[in-house]
Chain A
Amino acid sequence: MPSAHLRVALVGNPNTGKSTLFNALSGLRQHVGNYPGVTVEMKKGRFSFHGIDFTLIDLPGTYSLAPRSPDEMVAVDLLLGRRAEEAAPDLILAVIDASNVDRHLYLTTQLMELGLPMVVAVTMTDTAAAQGIVLDCEKLAAALGVPVVPVQASRGVGMDALRSALCHGGKVPTPPPFPDAVAGELDALAAACPLVPRFLVQRLLFDVGGHIETWLTQTQAPTLPAQLAAARQRLAAAGCAVSGVEARTRYGWIRTATAGAVTKPTTRLTTRTDRIDRVLTHKVWGTLAFLAVMFLVFQSIFVWAKPFMDAIDAGRGWVGDLLTAHTAAGPLRSLLVDGVLKGVGGVLVFLPQILILFAFIAVLEDCGYMARAAFLMDKVMSRCGLNGKSFIPLLSSVACAVPAILSTRVIENRRDRLATIMVAPLMSCSARLPVYALFIGSFLRDGYPWWLSGLTLFGMYLIGFLVAPLVALLLKRTLLRGETPLFVMELPAYKMPTLKTVLFRVYDAGSAFVRRAGSIILASMVVIWASLYFPYVDASGASYPDRIEALEADDAPEGSAAEAARLQGEWKRNSYLGRVGRGLEPAVAPLGWDWKIGVAALASFPAREVMVGTFGILYDVGEVDAKEVGNADDPKAAGLKATLQKEWADDPIRGKYGVSVALSVMVFFALCCQCASTLAVIRRETRSWAWPAFTFTYMTLLAYLGGFVTFQLGRVLTDALGG
Chain B
Amino acid sequence: MTETQARPTGVAPRLVGTSVPRKEDLALLTGTARFVDDLRLPGMVHARILRSEVAHARVRSIDTAPALEVPGVLDALAGAELVGKVKPWGDLMQDLLVGDHFPFATDKVLYQGQELAAVVAETKYQAWDGCEAVRVDLDELPAVVDPEEALAPDAPLVQEQIVYEFGEGNVFDRYKVRIGDFGAAEAGAAVVVRQRFATNKQAGAALDPHGCVADYDSFTGVLTLYSSTQSIYMVRDVLADVLQIPRTKVRVVVPDVGAGFGSKAQIFGHEVIASLFSMRLGRPVKLVLSRGEIFRSGTTRNAQVRYAELAMAADGEITGYRDYVVHNTGAMSVWGNQVVHIGTNVGMLPYPIPNIHVDSDIVHTTTAPGGPLRGFGIPQAIWAKEQLVDMAARELGLDPLAVRERNVIDPDEFPFRTPMGHVIDSTSIKQCLQASAEAVDWSAPRAPYEGKGLAVSMKYTSCRHPSLDTDLSAVRLRLETDGTVTIYSSDVSHGQSHATMLAQIVADGIGVGIEKVSLAPPDSMTAPFGLGTYASRGAAVLGTACRLATERLRDKILAIAAHVLEVGPEDLDTGHDRVFVKGLPDSGIYLEIIAATAAYRTHQLPPGFEPTLETVATYDTPTEREGSDGSGNLSVTYSGAAHAAHVRVDPDTGRVTVVDYAMVHDTGTVINPLVVEGQHHGGFAMGLGMALSEDYVYDAQGRQLNASFKDYLAVTAPDVPELTKTAEIPAPSTMIPGGQKGAGESGTGPVPAAIGNAVFDATGVRFTVLPITPQRMLVALREKERQGVETLRYPDDMPDFTGPRRHADWPSPVSAGADLDFDFDWEDDD
- Answer yes or no: do A and B interact: no
